[in-house]
Copies of this chain bind each other. A is one copy, B any other.
Amino acid sequence: MAPSLESHIIPQGAEIGADTLISRSKVTVIGSGNWGSVAAKLIASNTLRLGSFHDEVRMWVFEETLPSGDKLSDVINATNENVKYLPGIKLGKNVVADPDLENAVKDANMLVFVTPHQFMEAICKGLVGKIKTDAEAISLVKGMEVKMEGPHMISTLISEQLGVNCSVLMGANIANEIAQEKFSEATVGYRQNREAAEKWVQLFNTPYFNVTAVQDVEGVELCGTLKNVVAIAAGFVDGLEMGNNTKAAIMRLGLREMKAFSKLLFPSVKDSTFFESCGVADLITTCLGGRNRKVAEAFAKNGGKRSFDELEKEMLQGQKLQGVSTASEVYEVLSHRGWFELFPLFSVVHEICIGRLPPSAIVQYREHKSRSS
């Protein structure tokens, strides 16, 4: 066999395998829900195509037994489809489902975290000492918690627990639309390592999924969380049938508060991040569709007489809305820091959610404030 181009640069006599030869990176996706499966599909199309990655993409599956009695991971490997969370979509033959977390990560150079946020702490604990020390991580997990002393970023949790550099990927990303290869965009937020960020872009970018990297991990990650509070506000406007002017105004005020809140907590956050997919585009998608908007619309239609708890049970089979809990967390920060005046929209969303104010307060609060830009 003719030597490959790359082999010319290998020192004479070196005894190395084909992978190390051109230092191909191995990728593991930790999570196999709807978004995790789509991420695996995107990644798998690129690892096949690009020489800098190992073809195989390992996907850790939280094992479940399907109604048929089969294990989910077995069915994924047999059919190349996640029949439970992304039915009808081929993931790529180079995606290998693995129910053993420790085994799934042990050789990985690049770790993609994409699980529900409430599992992240336990998963990180379980991974301590099990991963390569020079691995790079990226978080696609939305919904970090905002504690009184400030936000608990999931990228920070990963970095601190596992001692690895962690970027984030956020954007206007309804998983099923990307699975159907409809055009969309996303933003990689990175801390310092531009080279690692470019590698993440290579790994995710496809003709129908355009990825851009910005050096602003906190800005990108906060966008992914705070937009859900604005989506609740947009849902109230929809429920009150206030029209497109008002909805656009509330979305704009929300974007402004997202920016101001992020910058007060992290002075390094950049204005330009809010023009990226993770900012204005994700906000638009979330305020047009999305379950936060939908349940808030129902809440306002009922004049606040049926609680979010009740509506969530009915509409989401008991799942909790991110936006309602984030609004409550943000409210605590505002209270703790004396910032209510600076964030009238965020404040009023929480007060409506807990029934202290009627849904119509979503616009009335503006009428008693002096203007500010």
Q: Which residues of A contact B (CB under 8 A)?
A: 172-174, 177-178, 182-185, 201, 205, 207-208, 210-212, 214, 242-249, 251-253, 255-256, 259, 271-272, 274-277, 280-282, 284-285, 288-289, 363, 366-367, 371, 373
Whether A246 and B371, one on each chain, are in contact in the complex, defined by CB atoms closer than 8 angstroms, is no
Chain B residues lying within 8 Å of A277, measured Cβ to Cβ, are: 248-249, 252
From A252, which residue of chain B is reached at the shortest CB distance? B281
Do B252 and A367 touch across chains, with their CB atoms under 8 A apart? no
Say yes or no: A274-B275 contact (C-beta < 8 A), given A246-B183, A248-B281, A371-B211: yes
Cα(A215)–Cα(B197), bound, Å: 37
Copies of chain A in the complex:
2
A244 to B183: give the CA distance in the assembly, Å.
10
Given contacts A244-B289, A247-B288, A272-B271, contact A183 B366 (CB under 8 A): yes
**In the complex, what residues of B have CB within 8 A of residue A271's CB?**
271-272, 275
Known: A246-B184, A252-B280, A288-B244. A367 touches B177 (CB 8 A): no
Task: Please give me the residue from chain B that is nearest to A214 by CB atom.
Answer: B373
Give Cα A371 to B276, complex, Å: 13
Cross-chain contact B210 with A371 (CB below 8 angstroms):
yes
Contact B172 A284 (CB under 8 A): no
Q: Which residues of B contact A205 (CB under 8 A)?
A: 371
Residue in chain B with minimal CB distance to A211: B371
Contact between chains at B288 and A185 (CB < 8 Å)? no
A201 touches B280 (CB 8 A): no
Contacts of A284 in B (CB 8 A): 244, 247-248, 251-252, 284
Q: Known contacts being A275-B256, A280-B280, A284-B251, is A245 close to B174, with CB within 8 Å?
A: yes
Give the shortest distance, in Å, between A34 (CB) and chain B (any CB). Answer: 14
Q: How far is the CB of A212 from chain B (nearest CB, A)?
A: 4
17 extra interface residue pairs, beta carbon distance < 8 Å, beyond A172-B244, A185-B253, A248-B281: A172-B245, A174-B243, A174-B245, A177-B243, A182-B242, A185-B249, A207-B366, A208-B363, A208-B367, A210-B371, A244-B284, A244-B285, A248-B285, A252-B275, A252-B280, A271-B271, A280-B280
What's the nearest-Cβ distance from chain B to residue A206, in Å?
9
CB neighbours (8 Å) of A212 from chain B are: 371, 373
How far is it, in angstroms, between the C-alpha of A373 and the C-alpha of B197 when the chains are bound?
A: 14
* Contact, CB under 8 Å: B245 / A173: yes
Question: Which 10 pairs across A and B sit closest by C-beta, in order of nearness?
Answer: A207-B367, A184-B245, A183-B363, A252-B281, A248-B284, A172-B248, A248-B281, A248-B285, A212-B373, A177-B243
A selection of 29 A-B contacts at a CB cut-off of 8 Å is A172-B249, A173-B245, A182-B363, A184-B245, A184-B248, A184-B249, A185-B249, A205-B371, A207-B366, A207-B367, A212-B371, A212-B373, A214-B373, A244-B288, A244-B289, A247-B288, A248-B277, A248-B280, A248-B285, A249-B281, A252-B275, A252-B276, A252-B277, A252-B281, A252-B284, A271-B272, A271-B275, A274-B275, A276-B373
